[in-house]
A and B are shown apart, each in its own frame.
Chain A
């Protein structure tokens, strides 16, 4: 089975902190994604990566950055956390454009 794991299920951080969300997949997938999920807004794409060290902005990249130094790991970074970044963050991976996306369980981040 494909497994996408995220480093934390719940996280509480203070405004202004630098926050790292980690995602690891075990299927040698080329593409990886970070989404945020908010009630009434569905899933919105923050960043994606089509290969190691390659990254592209999604629809809402402001306030976020990413890192993909190894194929299996894709990190989302909140440079200076703000309360409007309180959300559920979902990571996903897939083998390529024509393949299914597999999602991790999500990290619920609260910024106070």
Chain B
């Protein structure tokens, strides 16, 4: 079945450092890809998405590019802030049928001043 693999955390960075969180997927067909973020004590929020190969999703300085050839959707940000400390989830859904989300295990990001 479909699955998502993302790097284990925690990822610990200093403020203004460059961030990469790796995500790869296995799926039949051509899924849509998502990054969700969970701030402490809150539910998940959609951060960005891409629905087809070579699409780039972006939001709040974060970016991810849908790479079909490497089945990847890595999350990047050029300069992280303390307020970016959260858990980040990569997810996919098929583009047919009910389109349930399949989540990765989550990566905790800790940014220190």
Residues of A within 8 A of B (CB): 4, 31, 40-45, 48, 50, 58, 90, 92, 97-98, 100-101, 103-106
Q: Is the CB–CB distance between A42 and B103 below 8 Å?
A: yes
Q: Is the CB–CB distance between B100 and A103 below 8 Å?
A: no
Bound Cα distance from A28 to B99, whole angstroms: 19
Tell me how far the C-beta of B52 lies from the nearest C-beta in chain A, rounded to whole angstroms: 13
Tell me how far the C-beta of A106 lies from the nearest C-beta in chain B, rounded to whole angstroms: 6
Contacts A45-B100, A97-B97, A97-B98: A90 and B89 contacting too (C-beta < 8 A)?
Answer: no
Interface of chain B, main secondary structure: loop
Q: List 5 A-B contacts (CB under 8 A).
A: A4-B43, A42-B103, A43-B44, A90-B43, A104-B43
Q: Is the CB–CB distance between A43 and B45 below 8 Å?
A: no
Bound Cα distance from A43 to B89, whole angstroms: 9
Tell me how far the C-beta of B21 lies from the nearest C-beta in chain A, rounded to whole angstroms: 14
Bound Cα distance from A42 to B103, whole angstroms: 6
Bound Cα distance from A45 to B45, whole angstroms: 17
Q: Is the CB–CB distance between B100 and A48 below 8 Å?
A: yes
Q: Which listed residue, B46, B98, B99, B105, touches A40 by the CB 8 Å rule?
A: B105
Q: Which listed residue, A50, A97, A105, touches B43 by the CB 8 Å rule?
A: A105
- Residues of B contacting A105 in the complex (Cβ-Cβ under 8 angstroms): 41-43
Tell me how far the C-beta of A3 lies from the nearest C-beta in chain B, rounded to whole angstroms: 11
Question: Of A43, A50, A92, which is in contact with the most chain B CB atoms at under 10 Å from its CB?
Answer: A43
Bound Cα distance from A32 to B46, whole angstroms: 16
